[in-house]
Amino acid sequence: MKILVIEDNQDIAANLGDFLEDQGHTVDFAADGVTGLHLAVVNEFDAIVLDLNLPGMDGLEVCRKLRQEARKSTPVLMLTARDALEQKLAGFDVGADDYLVKPFALQEVSARLAVLQRRGKAVGPRVLKVADLEYNLDTLEVHRAGKSINLNPTALKILQALMEAAPSVVTRQDLETRVWGEELPDSDSLRVHIHGLRAAVDKPFPNPLIQTRHGIGYRIAGEAAS
């Protein structure tokens, strides 16, 4: 599994990382909520271990933004020193999948992550669909009307953002942040990538799906723009 650990306690983060890597997992780290959210949004992880008390942005807000704004479904195991019921309910309310109170056994963290992984696989492949366009998030395969479409990694990120938000409009700023994070490209880069995405997804087919809302952003939808 590829796991993101968002934990500001260096000792806990190091112990978790060493233990999980010894079990064959790949681990990335963030020591504050803002950095953790950025990594979780711009990368694909199999699971996130998220501390509740974080500098910059607490774990509840990280999880809420991950689910509601970034629309990412990555399983989240929340860690906290608090064991009050209301804190657990608050974590589940913003989209956490499981909850573990400190101090905890490293073996239990591993077991909880394994359960989350099995649960995700049991649901089946994650496939985004808009009209006759399908994007399998697990295999990174795109098909339209049964025909395979080859896209580069940047185009895949843009397509995922548009399809997850469909039929809503995604602003230029949100798309740029989703794809490039804080290191934004020059002003024409997004337009160039949208042009390439249209050439692959729309041009070979009779009905275009990618629509421009001038001065705002883009959306992908089966129906024509009003």
Q: State how far the Cα of 38 lies from the Cα of 36, in Å rounded to an integer.
A: 5
Please report, for the domain that includes residue 50, its CATH number.
3.40.50.2300
State the total domains in the chain: 2
Domain boundary among 123, 138, 172: 123
Q: Which residues 6+ apart lie within 8 Å of 93 measured at CB?
A: none
Which domain, by its residues, includes 22?
2-123
Same domain, 83 and 136: no
Residue 225 lies in a domain: no
Same domain, 94 and 64: yes
Predicted local distance difference test score (pLDDT) of residue 13: 95
Domain boundary among 63, 89, 123: 123
Mean pLDDT of 21-45: 93
The answer to pTM > 0.75 is: no
Same domain, 42 and 82: yes
Domain boundary among 123, 144, 177: 123
Predicted confidence (pLDDT) at residue 198 exceeds the cutoff of 50 = yes
